[in-house]
Structure 1
């Protein structure tokens, strides 16, 4: 990567799992009744044809991984499991009541965290059976969960498989013991290997690894060793993330300082080392931070123009309605977003009051929907176009004007009604999407809200 371009474009920016991004949502979230109307509208339009997606946030972890930017609750008290599951199922019941007599068609379930495998297998079974009890499972449903190698047992794998899970995402981050020690991540290569092989033996059809570059004490030679081990185990897909250093949001990241992080040159060398190793091994770049083997469904979806991105990341399916359950979970009705209360206690309080535990949200305007489509297209297909009146607004014209310098730097190719990202521009996809972020340009933050883009 050109170092001059790296320094020029390495600025704070969103990851665009949504547009508008969460900091620019309306100050007043949709009221209970309004949110139910948005949900019901999406449900009526899409449930019978495509079904709905469920994301369940399970926030508990036994120890804090200090690099983590997720919403977590650290405890070794496993008595919290049943209380939390009962609250999630009560929240789900509120949505079932909203749907009326029509049963939801479940197209996708994803368990995220936190550490989903903090919960024992029997409690996870209670949770999933509770979600499916008054639902219909789509014949092509995809169920997946995030797994910590340090505590995911064979019983976890078998129980979830019997419940319909076929996708597992394993949090590897790095195999180097020095890096793992500073980020307080307790796991070994042997645990990752066992988890991978056991999952495949049981019948899981998709294995993902999360790898993070830019971690404290990390070096390019460490990443090469990590990738050599990853390639030996050959996961179907890999999320190769840039570490997001946001200690003003996540105080746990103050366990180390900026001096412990690789500088921009070293971080890019770590990235290039990892990326090159993956490409030589046959992995394909299918979107921001993501690589997949040609046999994987994500790669096929990207090639066929079906790749989608939502609050769960990249997916090879699209449902108009995504319901997020649990503390801090985000829901998407396509015309509106809401996020649940982040603190577990506040979440419990709202559930006990018989309310969907909304903390904040946003109802999308016509301009929001148009810009969202273009940003989504860039994130999934590295290009976007507008040939219909419904795909154009004044903000699109302003967005293209902001891309002039990127065109000069050969990051994009501009045509009268389209934008295409070049191979050279792919590492800067977040910057390119920022040109379409009208709310970011209208309300430039006084303080840093996002991690660096590269």
Structure 2
């Protein structure tokens, strides 16, 4: 088998493995009754909660998220009514209030909500989902919809972590994606967040946007490093205009070619490393003292629908339109259409429209993939202890496939272990894809985001 060429493996598409099986495997055979049964069977223990706020005032052309573009802020109130009903249904199904160790508000733009609406939402959530003393409470912030006063209010509501959507600081790139925000405004918010005592700030960037060049991206990297956020997420843009209508406003000719994308990706890794950031996994970086970096070094890293996490592998309740959750060995997703979501709750029903109950093969492969994604090491003995069987017999095909990664220096095939090398850690999801049985069908990888 020929040696694997790293650039070839980067210029492809693959799952992000916030779950296994991935969400495209969910089906409409799983509905509200299945979710209630899963909730009734769940083992006691703290929960993680995700709340999706879909509204945005303007569209970012690169966006592939579930969103509602509107300047009519009065649409938020009926949505909060629906969320209140959904939270109440979960309170009943769970048998009362539950402790949570993690809460994340995403979107869309959560800061589309007013201070009063955010106060109302948090009060409603706390009636059913009660944060532990060390809980992580995070929210995504669009710098265009937040100011110093808004950050003060978020801190008063108990949020201790912020994620700022930046994507790129170059004015030409910002014009091309319809997301204009100055470096100075973001800098002021990051400094304010630090002064207010937020435990962690994250900055999101995207590699591969229209009009991006290695030179322009170097300037953005320098500006981000000067902000010194605790965490950085560097995503790769996947241009799929046939699936995501806003992307049709991006001219394909403006997109950087594969060598330029790869050059920018490598420059980012080098730049962040030079400024004290550890690669957490895939496309996430954190300062060496950040809890995420510490968890990575100590082998305590986990992964769920919210991405990499320091939280133990706990159940996740997804609230809001299109939200995804996991209870035990089941995954569930709410209606993606806002009207359908609200109408279902108006009838007093959980808005779950699709999901999946994992089988035995799914569970063993999930453990294998998450071991690679989170720890960079797959221990044959540990898999056998949890699932039985003989690892080398169960995964003979996968071990043969991994030989090409070993030839390229991306993994070490040790006796009874698969270990990801420092070079392989940059393409860890490509390595994990070897264990994904659902990808053995032609054309499946085009559903996912670009690896590099």
Same fold (TM over 0.5): yes
Deviations 1:350-374 (A, max 9, x none): 1111111112101011111111111
2:386 aligned partner: 390
Aligned pair partner of 2:297 in 291, 295, 303: 303
CA distance in 1, matches of 2:44, 2:380: 25
Unaligned runs of 5+ in 2: none
Contact 2:161 2:201 in 1 (8 A): yes
Shift of 1:303: 1.0
Contact 1:236–1:292 (8 Å) recurs in 2? yes
Q: CA deviation at 1:395?
A: 4.9
- 2:194 paired residue number: 200
| Cα deviation 1:306-330 (Å, max 9, x = unaligned) | 1111111111112421001000000
TM-superposed deviation, 1:173: 0.6
TM-score (norm 2): 0.94
1:36 maps to 36
Do structure 1's residue 408 and structure 2's residue 419 form an aligned pair? no
What does 1:426-445 correspond to in 2, within 5 Å? 426-441=425-440, 443-445=441-443
Give the 3-state SS of the residue equivalent to 1:143 in structure 2.
strand
Deviation at 1:41, TM superposition (A): 2.4
Match of 1:93 in 2: 88
Taking the aligned partners of 2:424 and 2:313, their CA distance within structure 1 comes to 29
The equivalences for 1:286-301 within 5 A come to 286-301=280-295
- Taking the aligned partners of 1:148 and 1:3, their CA distance within structure 2 comes to 40
Find the aligned partners of 2:151 and 2:197 in 1 and give their Cα distance. 10
Displacement of 1:417 after TM fit?
Answer: 2.3
* RMSD, aligned α-carbons: 1.8
Partner Cα separation in structure 2 for residue 251 and residue 118 of structure 1: 22
Matches within 5 A, 1:187-226: 187-226=181-220
Aligned with 1:448: secondary structure?
helix
1:363-382 superposed matches below 5 A: 363-382=357-376
- 5+ unaligned residues in a row in structure 1: which ranges? none
Provide the secondary structure at the position in 1 that maps to 2:49.
strand
Superposition pairs of residues 34-433 of structure 1, within 5 angstroms: 34-42=34-42, 45-47=43-45, 51-100=46-95, 102-387=96-381, 388-391=384-387, 395-433=394-432
Match of 1:449 in 2: 447
User: Distance between the aligned counterparts of 2:88 and 2:395, measured in 1?
Assistant: 40
The answer to whether 1:10 aligns with 2:5 is: no
Moved more, 427-436 or 140-149: 427-436
Give the 3-state SS of the residue equivalent to 2:232 in structure 1.
strand
C-alpha distance in 1 between matches for 2:234 and 2:226: 17
Measure how far apart 1:66 and its partner are.
0.6
Residues 181 and 9 from structure 1, CA distance in 2 versus in 1: closer, same or farther, beyond 3 angstroms? Answer: closer
Return closer, same or farther for 1:255/1:418 CA change in 2, 3 Å cut-off: same
Size of the aligned set, in residue pairs, is 445
